[in-house]
A and B are shown apart, each in its own frame.
Chain A
Amino acid sequence: MHALDPLTLARIQFGFTVSFHILFPAITIGLASYLAVLEGLWLWRGNTVFKDLYHFWSKLFAVNFAMGVVSGLVMSYEFGTNWSYFSSYAGGVTGPLLTYEVLTAFFLEAGFLGVMLFGWDKVGRGLHFFSTVMVAIGTLISATWILASNSWMQTPQGYRIADGRIVPADWLQIIFNPSFPYRLAHMGIAAFLATALFVGAVAAWHLLRGRDDARIRTMMSMAMWMVLVVAPIQILVGDLHGRNTLEYQPAKVAAIEGHWENPPGESVPLILFGIPDMKSETTRYAIEIPHVGSVILTHSWSGTIPGLKDFKPEDRPNATVIFWTFRVMVGLGMLMLLLGVVALVLRWAGRLYSNRLFLRACLVMGPSGLVALLAGWLTTEIGRQPWVVYGVMRTADAVSAHSAMTLSLSLLIFVVLYCTVFGTGIGYLLKLAAHGPDEHTVTPVGDELDKRPARPLSAATESLN
């Protein structure tokens, strides 16, 4: 353990605020696309079940979106307050990318979100559907900008260093850096998967409580198809992403795998479980399977990868942590795949909506998508250490010169604030979920609605207490 020096405190604070933040955009991205699909199906088939589901999930979408904006407000200032040397040194590249992310989010809010949430009976069907689709695309574009920035920090290119700072040389190279396509695909799919599992858990909760109607069944069915299709794709994309990481950040992969030395010419085992010890430079209690490491990482029977000892001690990421965060992510991914397959079997057997053991499993797996997503981010970010911009700037040189006291105080403020605010928000979200979709939702029409204050959160009308 470190003593809590300013660097550690700043990293804890960033980890805390960004972890809270990412949960909301992830569900927002997934739900926006889900809503677009629901509205498309309603227009195509005319089945009111889809319309009812649309109204139900748009409320949850609105609350989620609002919490994403609030937690994002803090993020847009934190680079300057806590990482001022990073901002002044690398801001020439990361600044404009963040500017675009914010602009995209507001463009979306200004242009289409209001129509989507409050224009159901005020604009034509085509225009309303177009707005929903634009919101879905907008959330993905917003994510694209921020992932471009993060990927560039992981695999920087397209820049030069002049006057003691990073100067962009080629924006196309910066945006389309080597890890960007993999990270974008992996994160986008993670958002879809996390949302599908959440939708499935809400459906399972209602089924377990004996509420079994067409709307709940449709939710369950759609969620399980999504999990079945997307989980294997995610595993495949994850594998490609890992091989890209091996090429550009070999130290990260060595730490994830808990490998210390791999003599050339020998095959690499897969260490299933163990405790990598940074001090003694060994992985203790390791349970190994020979050759499998080679097969997964090099797609050959006896390929090899660098070990941690190939890197200077001060250039190694913390294997003790990311060995385990990675395994949490992969383990949950396998469980998701299993859930999708079991759902398929039960579907054939006609027991999808009645097998209580399966429904309980769906409920337990509800947060698993978000947990896996956080575990993945922890792996890639802690695995980038000790660099903030890989190979270009060290995290220790990026942090603002605040005292440990100042940073502790601000961390305390954030912890209290976030737990209160987002605790209330998440509680409200679950309350909406527990209420479930209404039958044949009617929306207020006429002058009454035209004068009604309309903000994202107004889309949800249930009381809080």
Chain B
Amino acid sequence: MGIDLPLIWVVIIAFGLMMYVIMDGFDLGIGILSPFVHDREDRDLMVNTVAPVWDGNETWLVLGGAALYGAFPLAYSLLLSALYLPLILMLAGLICRGVAFEFRFKADAAHRPFWDKMFAVSSYGATFFQGVSLGAFIDGFHVSGPSYLGGAFDWLSPFSVFTGLGLIVAYALLGATWLTMKTAGDLQARMIACARWVTLALLAVIAIVSLWTPLSHPAIAARWFSLPNLYYFAPVPVLILAVGALMLRLLRGTPNAGPFLLTLVLLFLGYSGLAISLWPNIIPPGVSFRAAASPPESMGFALVGTLFIIPVILTYTAWAYHVFRGKVTSNEGYH
């Protein structure tokens, strides 16, 4: 076979995960911001901006899980065993959020506050446990062959709790800048003000994670600070600072899509930093994606359908966003 199947698959899965973080990030962000918006009409408006697309956003997570199982069964079984509790809590959060989302539209005024609370709490929960899983992933896992040798709570560390809180900040910024783009008037003004603070908070989070990671992970430190890696790596923090500065400048006026796009760039930079730090490991600290790959007969078979369907899903997604483009004004979308 002249085709590097494991490489193709690792790119597909990394792409799927990135899509998930971007897209589900802003609708989780809306749940994160919702407790701070007391006016019911404003809250309805916020939810309506993502109503048409939120469940499509979540498909990437299911797709990621199924693709990981199809192409890297060893990574699928080890990662999911090691992150058992945080992933179950994350799934529980996502399920509750989906249900709250649908039923707040169908509930009467008396029950609506209940579904609103459930929507907010489950958004926080799902985001926090995603972030915890990310931190635990950077920490690495105690594995040997096909066996996870760690304990049930190995994922819980000060670092992973911090990344959990950090992700809440990141998604809050995605949510605030998304709403800056999708709303107008008073609500938009409040979101711009909110985005300013959250941008500063996120820059602080990125700074702390960037210091904490090499200090507590010698292997990653060695990778960062050895030559010539340092030259490749140096642009990342410089770009993050530049993007942050540009964002704060935009947020002084009445921007539209700019801050949201800049937030995406910020996340993408963070994501690439993560990839540079951990490549080629699919189970840090020591199992590379090649070692975890399915037999070529499995990867090739699964690839045929995937390459056929991903463009369809992307086209459909683009079309859905195109149909629902522009500002959302009140009194629509009630049903």
The answer to whether A and B interact is: yes
- A-side residues, CB < 8 A to B, are 66, 69-70, 72-74, 76-77, 79-81, 83-89, 91-96, 98-103, 106-107, 109-111, 162, 165, 167-169, 171, 400-403, 405-406, 409-410, 413-414, 417, 421, 424-425, 428, 448, 450-458, 460-465
Q: Which residue of B lies closest to A448 (CB)?
A: B332
- Contact present for A107 and B309 (CB under 8 Å): yes
Q: Which residue of B lies closest to A97 (CB)?
A: B70
Task: Compute the total of residue contacts between A and B using a CB distance below 8 Å.
Answer: 212
Q: Which residue of A lies closest to B294 (CB)?
A: A92
- Contact present for A453 and B73 (CB under 8 Å): no
- Contact present for A413 and B313 (CB under 8 Å): no
Most buried by A among B62, B77, B306, B332: B77
- Contact present for B62 and A102 (CB under 8 Å): yes
Closest Cβ of chain A to B118, distance in Å, is: 10
B302 located at the interface, meaning its Cβ lies under 8 Å from any Cβ of chain A in the complex: yes
- Contact present for B70 and A99 (CB under 8 Å): yes
* Contacts A81-B81, A91-B73 given; does A465 touch B111 at CB 8 Å: yes
Instruction: Give the 6 A-B residue pairs with the shortest CB-CB distance, closest first.
Output: A91-B73, A80-B80, A453-B51, A99-B70, A84-B77, A96-B302
* Contacts A81-B84, A171-B301, A410-B84 given; does A87 touch B69 at CB 8 Å: yes
Chain B positions within 8 Å of A454 at CB level? 52
- Contact present for A406 and B309 (CB under 8 Å): no
Chain A positions within 8 Å of B332 at CB level? 448, 451-452
The A-contacting residues of B in range 48-87, CB under 8 angstroms, are 48, 51-52, 54-56, 58-59, 61-63, 65-71, 73-74, 76-81, 84-85, 87
Q: Is the interface of B mostly helix, strand, loop or mixed?
A: helix
Most buried by B among A96, A451, A455: A96
- Contact present for B59 and A77 (CB under 8 Å): no
- Contact present for A110 and B87 (CB under 8 Å): no
Closest Cβ of chain A to B75, distance in Å, is: 9
Q: Contact residue range for chain B?
A: 35 or more
Closest Cβ of chain A to B68, distance in Å, is: 8
- Contact present for B85 and A406 (CB under 8 Å): yes
Query: Interface digits, B87-100 against A, CB 8 Å rule (1 contact, 0 not)?
Result: 11101101110110
Chain A positions within 8 Å of B333 at CB level? 451-453
Query: Interface digits, B293-331 against A, CB 8 Å rule (1 contact, 0 not)?
Result: 011011001100110010011001100000110000000
The residue that A91 contacts in the complex, of B67, B77, B79, B92, with Cβ under 8 A, is B77
B102 located at the interface, meaning its Cβ lies under 8 Å from any Cβ of chain A in the complex: yes
B107 located at the interface, meaning its Cβ lies under 8 Å from any Cβ of chain A in the complex: yes
Closest Cβ of chain B to A312, distance in Å, is: 27
* Contacts A92-B73, A95-B69, A417-B96 given; does A103 touch B309 at CB 8 Å: yes
The stretch from B144-152, B159-167, B245-253, B255-263 touching chain A is: B144-152
Q: Which residue of B lies closest to A163 (CB)?
A: B295
Closest Cβ of chain A to B314, distance in Å, is: 9
- Contact present for B63 and A410 (CB under 8 Å): no
Q: What separation, in Å, do the CA atoms of A387 and B102 have in the docked complex?
A: 41
Q: What separation, in Å, do the CA atoms of A89 and B187 have in the docked complex?
A: 53
Chain B positions within 8 Å of A457 at CB level? 102
Query: Interface digits, B221-236 against A, CB 8 Å rule (1 contact, 0 not)?
Result: 0000000000000000
- Known contacts A165-B295, A414-B88, A424-B99, then 12 further A-B pairs from the complex at CB < 8 Å, ordered by chain A residue: A73-B61, A81-B84, A81-B87, A81-B88, A95-B70, A99-B305, A100-B302, A106-B313, A169-B297, A425-B99, A452-B335, A453-B333
- Contact present for A88 and B302 (CB under 8 Å): no
Chain A positions within 8 Å of B268 at CB level? none
A-B contacts, 6 of them at CB < 8 A, read A74-B95, A76-B62, A76-B69, A98-B69, A102-B62, A457-B102
Closest Cβ of chain B to A361, distance in Å, is: 33
- Contact present for A88 and B69 (CB under 8 Å): no
Closest Cβ of chain A to B316, distance in Å, is: 4
B106 located at the interface, meaning its Cβ lies under 8 Å from any Cβ of chain A in the complex: yes
* Contacts A102-B66, A451-B324 given; does A413 touch B92 at CB 8 Å: yes
B238 located at the interface, meaning its Cβ lies under 8 Å from any Cβ of chain A in the complex: no
B110 located at the interface, meaning its Cβ lies under 8 Å from any Cβ of chain A in the complex: yes
Chain B positions within 8 Å of A452 at CB level? 332-333, 335
* Contacts A463-B106, A465-B108 given; does A98 touch B66 at CB 8 Å: yes
- Contact present for A402 and B71 (CB under 8 Å): no
Closest Cβ of chain A to B91, distance in Å, is: 6
Q: Which residue of B lies closest to A83 (CB)?
A: B77
Q: What separation, in Å, do the CA atoms of A162 and B298 have in the docked complex?
A: 13
Q: What separation, in Å, do the CA atoms of A316 and B79 have in the docked complex?
A: 33
- Contact present for A464 and B76 (CB under 8 Å): no
Q: Which residue of A lies closest to B52 (CB)?
A: A453
* Contacts A95-B298, A428-B106 given; does A107 touch B77 at CB 8 Å: no
